[in-house]
């Protein structure tokens, strides 16, 4: 921003961000209504049908007891991984390019987690008893089984939702305070409550800085553990293609990978439709592109390791599962995944590609399609080929499942659309920090000209 | 009764120097209000220490201990054999310990932040204008840097002079409500 | 005893509970594959005894049949020189059951008879136990089932009818085991006699290929068989320590 003949001033940012909240065009309402309608029709309606009928509304069967619901769960948890994690890492390493984009990235984390939690509800057979997985004293004197990988999940995701909520909220307090004075009516009340009476004193800034840093330090290991734990849902079993030590790093890398791609998508949309072009620039796409390249190479490496170790073991179960994944019924999906996640991202090696917005959008969407396929394949191919050949089977998703998959996207979009009107979606104070502070108007000089 | 004198500045350097002069004039420690954290506050107003880290540490230790105990004690309370494992199993319970360490670390960090930053304060409610001890300048959330000093009636004049000398664009009575 | 000593003692007790080595009973089933003719009477008996749903044609085509005991068929060789191997597959009641550890709500656990139990009321339907089971013997209720008249008249009153969203599996006819233990208690005996209790499949097997008993009792029928050279366990290399023991088929070269 330096050297710009018409540099941005603090007030410009303020006005832009406040405008993004209070000035709402008709396009926004159309988008919100569409997303809401899609959520109801594609997500809630089929889900209610499934609640009434039973999980049989989905396509799962005897060996394939897990399906797209679990794949979606992992996918959304994975998508949540870049927001808060990336934001924390960049905060600790003092990277200033984080500042314009981290608020929306963290929102992405939060809403992905909400959708993932919904997917758990959709996945289980009797969601009306889901509270039994929480440790609370009850009249049955029954506690959850803390030895279960699924309970690690419950603990990890609860912690993660708490952590990301706190993190995004704490980072927004100064911005709520800034918006508070510019709004009237219910918005004023809401922001007054949300900002907790923030005045921007030196004491408050100091405390915020430290609390924020401590949170970042706590959340980084948490985020890594969350996806490791999700991978242990699979890796702790003794199903041939799932019982793998590489799974924890594989899932963590995959999660950050798809999350980063998700951030690119969201950045593009914000840039395009929210007039944040001045804050979200080619620099961000360039940096995210580099990150995508590194992650895609890591991801490819882990895939090669997975195939190699399976092949090298020579165990009949492992080799059969591997053969089935590479050349069996689901093979087209596998090669689609390899194309989208390992081959296409190599384009990020070129700076011209990284700094062009539309190709990056397509790439990010392709990566996330590939990553969804990865999760689906992990579930579907492994369960179809287990130890006893007589129990081999095939799982194909039903219409209800596909509808709910589309519905989760709509649900996420709805939440995000609500977010941009409530939260200042670009962090005002941190963008201000990256700019030059207002300079003293040279009083002597102006006085001199008068004299 | 304490009167609050608030000086508004257009840039952080003048605000800082004003704060420095106020302090050296024995008017007490002034409060700075700014839209962004100001670099170098600690050099002028003295080093700040916060209790947040103690909260975080306590929370993490508390969470870790209670995490393991939660898993171990609930398993003992209603012992049922599962998968040939002991009732108190280490590897899984350590994961629970790990997660709860972080959970309580986070929760206590937040509590520590609220306690040490003295939030939420009177501005929190819609009756915030009545809070006389916490002067507030809305411009300080946009692009102005404010220095506020609470002093007795006798010192108001002196404080205003110092602020003006440091280049304040405007002087306000902090006890007044904000328009 | 001081407080610390009590904690130390509790710690030792809960670290090495001991009951894995020493169940009250250790129910075991042996299946002699040499005697098994693959008639499938056991499958039908199980269906009748345990209120297994008749899922219907559509659900069957989707692969959702519920058979606590199923006949696995393995063909060897090319036509016309083919051989059919049959192995009845049911819950193996593993002592180191992978399905038990994964249940988040402890809906499946090991009881004092060494049985792997499934508590329908507690199950929330995560289906993870079915994934973790290497024998694929856990069946999920994908929807509520109906028994058309007069089938509803033959439902076993001792066995609950499972609702949708619940996992189920072979129980070694736990209702019969309970009954036998109650009878033994009423008669003033401490133990159930060998052969006094038989699951439906064992009872119905026309070639008497299956046997059921307590392997804690060295005199019992199954204990004798277990020592034999033909005894083996399916997927023994996974260290599940299963309680169903198969007896190898005796190969006769034609």
What tens digit of pLDDT does each residue of B47-95 get?
778 888 899 999 999 999 999 999 988 988 888 888 888 888 889 999 9
Cα–Cα distance between B177 and C3 in angstroms, integer? 62
Residue A383: exposed, middle, or buried by beta-carbon count in 10 A (0-12, 13-18, 19+)?
buried
Instruction: For chain C, say whether A60 makes contact (Cβ under 8 Å).
Output: yes
**Residue-level pLDDT at A49:** 94
* Same structural domain, B16 and B36: yes
Structural domain ending residue among the three candidates B118, B135, B159: B118
**Residue-level pLDDT at A184:** 81
Instruction: For chain B, say whether C146 makes contact (Cβ under 8 Å).
Output: no
Q: How far is CA C31 from CA A343, C50, C245, in A?
A: 53, 20, 6
Task: Say whether A123 and C126 touch across the interface (CB within 8 A).
Answer: yes
Q: Pick from B36, B38, B82: which is nearest to A145 by CB?
A: B82
Of A433-447, B32-46, C61-75, the poorest mean pLDDT is in A433-447
Mean pLDDT along residues A421-440: 77
Cα–Cα distance between C236 and C230 in angstroms, integer? 14
* Same structural domain, B97 and B131: no
Best interface-test mutation with B: which of C6, C9, C13 has the largest number of B CBs within 10 A? C13
* Same structural domain, B78 and B35: no
For chain A, which chains pass the contact test of at least 3 CB pairs under 8 Å? B, C
Structural domain ending residue among the three candidates B93, B118, B143: B118
What is the chain B residue with the closest CA to A9?
B143
Q: Which helix (H) or strand (E) holds A49?
A: helix A45-53
* Same structural domain, B111 and B126: no
Cα–Cα distance between A95 and A109 in angstroms, integer? 20
Q: Could you please report the per-residue DSSP string of C107-153? A: -EEE-TTS-EEE-TTT-----HHHHH-TT---EE--S-----TTGGG
**Residue-level pLDDT at A447:** 36
Domain presence at residue B7 = yes
* Same structural domain, B163 and B113: no
Question: DSSP assignment, residue A201?
Answer: B
Is the model's pLDDT at A162 over the cut of 80? yes
* Same structural domain, B114 and B57: yes
3-state secondary structure of C2: coil
CATH level 2 (architecture), domain A10-130+145-434: Up-down Bundle (1.20)
Nearest to A166 by CA among A206, A222, A121: A222
Residues of C in contact with B93 (CB under 8 A): none
Domain presence at residue B15 = yes
Residue B37: give the domain boundaries: 3-41+122-173
Domain presence at residue B149 = yes
Domain presence at residue B179 = no
Q: Where do the structural domains in chain A lie, given as residue ranges? A: 10-130+145-434
* Same structural domain, B67 and B103: yes
What is the chain A residue with the closest CA to B76?
A143
Structural domain ending residue among the three candidates B103, B118, B133: B118
Best interface-test mutation with A: which of C52, C119, C128 has the largest number of A CBs within 10 A? C128
Is the model's pLDDT at A95 over the cut of 50? yes
Is the model's pLDDT at C116 over the cut of 50? yes
* Same structural domain, B13 and B25: yes
* Same structural domain, B111 and B57: yes
Mean pLDDT score of chain A = 87
CATH number for the domain including B14? 3.30.70
Instruction: For chain B, say whether C109 makes contact (Cβ under 8 Å).
Output: yes
Cβ–Cβ pairs < 8 A, chains B and C: 46
Cα–Cα distance between A256 and A266 in angstroms, integer? 15
**Residue-level pLDDT at A150:** 93
Residues of C in contact with B81 (CB under 8 A): 17, 19-20, 109-111
Domain presence at residue B47 = no
Mean pLDDT score of chain B = 82
Distance from CA of B59 to the nearest CA of A (A): 11
Cα–Cα distance between A104 and A106 in angstroms, integer? 5
* Same structural domain, B59 and B109: yes
Domain count, chain B: 2
Q: How far is CA B159 from CA A80, A202, A440, B23, C145, in A?
A: 51, 19, 21, 10, 84
Asked if A146 and B71 touch (Cβ cutoff 8 Å), the reply is yes
Instruction: For chain A, say whether B163 makes contact (Cβ under 8 Å).
Output: no
Residues facing residue B173 across a β-bridge: B5
Cα–Cα distance between A248 and A234 in angstroms, integer? 10
How does residue C195 score in pLDDT terms, banded at 50, 70 and 90?
A: confident
Q: Where are the alpha helices (DSSP H) in B82-155?
A: 90-117
Domain presence at residue B106 = yes
Domain presence at residue B163 = yes
Distance of CA A133 to the CA centre of its chain: 24
Q: Find all residues with CB under 8 Å of A283, minimum gap 6, and list them.
A: A97
Of A283-297, A318-332, A415-429, the poorest mean pLDDT is in A415-429
What is the chain B residue with the closest CA to A193?
B124
Domain presence at residue B178 = no
């Amino acid at each position: 921003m330096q050297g710009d003949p018409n540099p941005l001033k603090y007030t410009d940012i303020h006005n832009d961000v406040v405008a993004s909240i209070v000035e709402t065009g008709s396009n926004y309402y159309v988008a919100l209504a569409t997303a809401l309608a899609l959520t109801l029709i594609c997500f809630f309606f089929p889900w209610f049908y499934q609640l009434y009928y039973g999980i049989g509304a989905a396509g799962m069967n005897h060996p394939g007891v897990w399906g797209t619901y679990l794949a979606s769960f992992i996918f959304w948890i994975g998508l949540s991984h870049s927001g808060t994690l990336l934001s924390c890492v960049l905060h600790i390493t003092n990277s200033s390019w984080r500042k314009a984009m981290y608020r929306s990235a963290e929102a992405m984390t939060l809403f992905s987690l909400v959708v993932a939690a919904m997917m758990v509800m959709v996945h289980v057979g009797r969601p009306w008893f889901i509270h039994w997985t929480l440790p609370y004293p009850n009249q049955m004197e029954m506690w959850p089984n803390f030895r279960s990988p699924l309970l690690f999940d419950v603990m990890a995701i609860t912690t993660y939702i708490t952590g990301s909520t706190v993190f995004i909220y704490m980072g927004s307090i100064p911005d709520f305070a800034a918006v508070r004075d510019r709004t009237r009516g219910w918005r004023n009340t809401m922001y007054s409550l949300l900002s907790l009476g923030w005045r921007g004193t030196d004491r408050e800034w100091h405390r915020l800085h430290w609390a924020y840093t401590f949170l970042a330090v706590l959340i980084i290991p948490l985020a890594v553990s969350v996806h490791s734990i999700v991978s242990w849902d699979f890796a702790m079993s003794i199903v041939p293609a799932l019982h793998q030590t590489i799974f924890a790093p594989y899932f963590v890398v995959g999660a950050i990978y798809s999350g980063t791609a998700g951030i690119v998508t969201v950045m593009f949309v914000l840039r395009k439709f929210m007039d944040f072009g001045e804050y979200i620039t080619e620099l961000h796409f360039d940096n995210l592109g580099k990150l995508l390249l590194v992650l895609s190479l890591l991801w490819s490496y882990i895939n090669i390791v997975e195939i190699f170790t399976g092949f090298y073991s020579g165990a009949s179960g492992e080799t059969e599962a591997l053969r089935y994944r590479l050349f069996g019924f689901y093979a087209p999906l596998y090669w689609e995944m390899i194309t989208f996640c390992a081959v296409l991202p190599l384009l990020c090696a070129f700076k011209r590609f990284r700094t062009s917005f539309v190709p990056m959008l397509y790439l990010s969407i392709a990566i996330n399609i590939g990553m969804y396929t990865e999760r689906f394949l992990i579930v579907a191919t492994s369960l179809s080929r287990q130890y006893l050949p007589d129990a081999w089977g095939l799982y194909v998703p039903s219409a209800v499942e596909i509808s709910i998959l589309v519905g989760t996207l709509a649900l996420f979009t709805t939440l995000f659309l609500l977010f941009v009107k409530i939260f200042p979606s670009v962090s005002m104070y941190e963008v201000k920090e990256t700019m030059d502070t207002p300079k003293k108007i040279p009083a002597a000089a102006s006085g001199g000209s008068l004299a | 009764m304490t009167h609050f004198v608030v000086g508004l500045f257009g840039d952080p350097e003048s605000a800082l120097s004003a704060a420095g002069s106020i302090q050296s004039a024995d008017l007490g420690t002034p409060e700075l209000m700014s839209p962004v954290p100001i670099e170098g506050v600690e050099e002028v107003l003295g080093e700040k220490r916060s209790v947040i880290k103690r909260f975080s540490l306590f929370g993490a230790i508390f969470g870790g201990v209670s995490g393991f105990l939660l898993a171990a004690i609930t398993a003992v309370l209603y012992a049922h054999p599962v998968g040939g494992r002991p009732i108190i199993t280490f590897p899984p319970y350590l994961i629970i310990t790990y997660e709860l360490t972080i959970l309580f670390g986070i929760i206590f960090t937040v509590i520590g932040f609220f306690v040490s930053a003295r939030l939420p304060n009177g501005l929190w409610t819609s009756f915030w204008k009545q809070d006389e001890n916490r002067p507030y300048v809305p411009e300080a959330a946009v692009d102005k840097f404010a220095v506020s000093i609470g002093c007795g009636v006798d010192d108001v004049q002196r404080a205003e002079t110092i602020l003006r000398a440091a280049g304040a664009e405007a002087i306000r009575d902090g006890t007044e409500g904000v328009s | 005893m001081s407080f610390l000593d009590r904690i130390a003692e509790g710690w030792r007790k809960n670290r090495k509970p001991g009951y894995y080595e020493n169940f009250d009973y250790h129910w075991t089933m042996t299946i002699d594959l040499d005697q098994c003719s693959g008639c499938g009477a056991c499958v039908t008996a199980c269906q009748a005894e345990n209120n297994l749903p008749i899922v219907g044609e559509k659900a069957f085509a989707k692969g959702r049949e519920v058979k606590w005991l199923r006949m696995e068929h393995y063909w060897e060789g090319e036509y016309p020189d083919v051989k059919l191997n049959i192995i009845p597959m049911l819950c193996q009641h593993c002592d180191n059951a992978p399905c038990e550890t994964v249940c988040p709500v402890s809906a499946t656990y090991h009881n004092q008879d060494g049985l792997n139990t499934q508590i329908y009321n507690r199950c929330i339907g995560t289906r993870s136990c079915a994934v973790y089971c290497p024998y694929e013997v856990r069946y999920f209720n994908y929807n509520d089932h109906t028994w058309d008249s007069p089938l509803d008249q033959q439902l076993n009153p001792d066995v609950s009818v499972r609702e949708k969203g619940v996992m189920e599996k072979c129980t070694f006819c736990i209702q019969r085991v309970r009954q036998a233990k109650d009878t033994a208690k009423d008669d003033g005996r401490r133990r159930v006699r060998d052969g006094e209790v038989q699951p439906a499949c064992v009872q119905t097997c026309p070639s008497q290929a299956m046997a059921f008993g307590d392997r804690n009792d060295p005199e019992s029928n199954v204990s004798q068989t277990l020592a034999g050279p033909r005894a083996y366990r399916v997927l023994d290399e996974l260290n599940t320590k299963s309680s169903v023991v198969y007896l190898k088929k005796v190969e006769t070269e034609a």
